[in-house]
Amino acid sequence: MNTSVEQLKALADPTRLAIVQKLAQHNELCACNLLDDFAITQPTLSFHMKKLTTSGLVLARKDGIWIKYRLNTDAVKDLVETLSLTPESTTDGCSCSS
């Protein structure tokens, strides 16, 4: 499936969107910080982070017993560019105006 579609599906969940917004404010966050900030269980956080890392929006690295997460800024930029396409730049051939 299209990467952009997977990323948008990942962001469609309010908790995952909030996690991405939180990561955008920090260089890197430990899973323990996210657990405290969102008052969710560890299995729930793992589920959400799996969706975000699989979509490519978030990068993870192991640090001792914890996993640290950061936003994949390149993936976010690509997604923004995809969403910023103007009708003239699409290839569907429609010249209709709304």
Taking only the tens place, the pLDDT of each residue in 15-61 is 999 999 999 999 999 999 999 888 899 999 999 999 999 999 999 99
User: How does residue 2 score in pLDDT terms, banded at 50, 70 and 90?
Assistant: confident
Nearest to 69 by CA among 9, 27, 38: 27
Please identify which residue in the block is written with the tokens 């910080």: 33
Report the relative pairing of strands 66-71 and 29-30 from DSSP bridges. antiparallel
Task: Give the mean pLDDT of the chain.
Answer: 89
* Predicted TM-score (pTM) of this structure: 0.81
Please state, for a pLDDT cut of 90, what percent of the chain lies above it: 74
Element (H, E) at 30: strand 29-30
Segments in the chain forming alpha helices (H): 3-11, 14-24, 31-38, 42-55, 73-83
